[in-house]
């Protein structure tokens, strides 16, 4: 194995650095901010992992190996920053994402329990059952404690002697495995992985037409004392509506209750502040008032903007760039769950030319894993 530079210390960059170091590469990470980077897409209280994925069966089938990859990382770390919750999915009309998820899940043998609106309200008295046309509960899935996972990965890299160098990249040259920092420093290696999140399109002109930075709003809440304990045992909530649905993450492991918008703003500048306006927070709260009983009694702790790199169909872009480069981009708000898996996959592909050419279709959820990629990861992560 040779030397590798990873540009970006979000979940993809750190996971890939960890996987490459495990595979025997000499690795260096370059990051423009401190780690965890509070401006990064990866750094929040939590991220969700679930099998329910609409009609995207490729991503649904990546969830089990993703869990196995997390198990490998958590075993090395000696801690498990993950809380199982299950999934409650609700829809205001039949068909669409929820029906597609149910069909795909049942087709692959997952246990799905259908619910009526009345049953939802009875099981979860902090929720209203009004307007629910379709619903199901899925026992698998839960909350990845994202901020802690980033800290854990940084610690694992330190133990392996992988440096995280502070510096802002102003240009990259994947053909030469090289980048230039704002202070004029030039760095090169046998392999360059560009995992710069919403900053990636600025550095790679070929990426800019395909991936755009976007802005998404989240609101953190404290439930009234009468509902607080029940929320700690709640499933993740996906409330789907054509006119503005929302998701809710229960307050597990001391984190706040979080609600967010399913949609992405059409554009965003990752250099902008992360504070959300009162109007933006109110828009999210308005989506949730019909579903969360007595939401006016919940205390708003904070509201923030998250910036993501989004491909139009929310497909991941994991591709070779010449002989010495890879790009990892387009992860929107759903890439975190696959961080450890994609890091291990890229480490495999970096050392095998045939895998490097074939990995992109699998990472985009559009093709089965290429021979020699998925089987190796599965074997290693279940050892």
Task: Tell me the sheet residues that pair with 219.
Answer: 259, 303
| Half-sphere exposure in the Cβ direction for 164 (13 Å, CA) | 25
Question: 328 and 185, same structural domain?
Answer: yes
**Is the domain of 234 the same as that of 357?**
no
My answer on whether 236 and 372 are in the same domain is no
Distances (CA, A) of 375 to 12, 16, 275: 21, 18, 43
Task: Tell me the pTM.
Answer: 0.95
Radius of gyration of the chain (CA): 21
Its domain, for residue 241, covers: 87-139+212-310
Asked whether residue 73 is assigned to any structural domain, the reply reads no
pLDDT band at residue 383 using 50, 70 and 90 as cut-offs: very low
Judgement on whether residues 188 and 302 belong to the same structural domain of the protein: no
Give the residue among 98, 12, 94, 1 at the shortest CA–CA distance from 47.
Answer: 12
* pLDDT > 90 in the chain, percent: 80
Segment 182-221, tens digit of pLDDT: 999 999 999 999 999 999 999 999 999 999 999 889 999 9
Q: Indicate the helix (H) or strand (E) that contains 282.
A: helix 278-289
For residues 234 and 119, state if they share a domain: yes
Would 72 be classed as within a structural domain?
no
Answer yes or no: do 56 and 157 share one domain.
Answer: yes
Specify whether the CB–CB gap between 53 and 70 falls below 8 A.
Answer: no
* pLDDT, tens digit, 9 for 90 and up, residues 249-268: 999 999 999 999 876 666 77
Q: Are residues 62 and 162 in the same domain?
A: yes
Average pLDDT along the chain: 92
Instruction: Reply yes or no: is the peptide bond before residue 34 cis, omega within 30 of 0.
Output: no
Whether the bond into 36 is cis, omega within 30 of 0:
yes
Beta strands 87-91; 134-138: pairing state: antiparallel
- Is residue 82 assigned to a domain? no
Model confidence pLDDT, tens digit, residues 273-316: 888 889 989 999 999 999 999 999 999 999 998 899 999 999 99
Confidence of residue 382 (pLDDT cuts 50, 70, 90): very low
Domain C-terminal end among 310, 328, 352? 310
- The count of domains in the chain is 2
The domain boundary, picked from 276, 310, 344, lies at 310
């Amino acid at each position: 194995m040779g030397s590798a530079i990873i540009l970006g210390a979000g979940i993809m960059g750190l996971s890939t650095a960890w996987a490459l170091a495990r595979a025997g590469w000499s690795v260096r990470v370059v990051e423009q901010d401190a780690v965890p980077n509070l401006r990064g897409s990866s750094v929040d209280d939590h991220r969700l992992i679930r099998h329910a994925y609409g009609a995207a069966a490729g991503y649904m089938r990546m969830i089990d190996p993703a869990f196995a990859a997390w198990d490998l990382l958590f075993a090395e770390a000696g801690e498990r920053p993950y809380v199982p919750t299950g999934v409650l999915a609700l829809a205001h009309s039949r068909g669409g994402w929820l029906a597609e998820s149910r069909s795909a899940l049942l087709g692959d043998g997952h246990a799905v329990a259908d619910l009526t609106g009345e049953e939802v309200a009875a099981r979860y008295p902090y929720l209203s059952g009004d307007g629910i046309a379709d619903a199901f509960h899925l026992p698998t899935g839960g909350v990845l404690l994202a901020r802690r996972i980033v800290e854990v990965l940084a610690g694992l890299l330190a133990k392996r002697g992988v440096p995280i160098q502070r510096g802002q990249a102003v240009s990259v040259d994947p053909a030469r495995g090289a980048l230039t920092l704002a202070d004029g420093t030039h760095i090169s290696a046998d392999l360059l992985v560009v995992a710069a999140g919403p900053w990636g399109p600025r550095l790679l002109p070929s990426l800019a037409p395909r991936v755009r930075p976007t802005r998404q709003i989240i609101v953190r809440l404290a439930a009234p004392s009468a509902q607080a304990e029940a929320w700690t045992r709640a499933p993740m909530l996906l409330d789907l509506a054509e006119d503005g649905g929302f998701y809710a993450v229960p307050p597990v492991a001391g984190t706040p209750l979080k609600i967010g918008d399913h949609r992405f703003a059409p554009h965003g500048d990752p250099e902008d502040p992360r504070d959300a306006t009162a109007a933006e927070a109110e828009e999210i709260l308005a989506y949730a008032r019909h579903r969360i009983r007595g939401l006016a009694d919940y205390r708003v702790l904070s509201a923030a903007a998250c910036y993501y790199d989004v491909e139009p169909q929310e497909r991941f872009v994991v591709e070779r760039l010449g002989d010495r480069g890879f790009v990892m981009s387009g992860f929107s708000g759903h890439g975190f769950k696959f961080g450890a898996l994609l890091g291990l996959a890229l480490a495999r592909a970096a050392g095998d030319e045939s895998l490097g050419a074939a990995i992109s279709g699998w990472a985009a959820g559009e093709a089965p894993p290429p021979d020699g990629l998925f089987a190796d990861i599965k074997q290693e992560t279940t050892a």
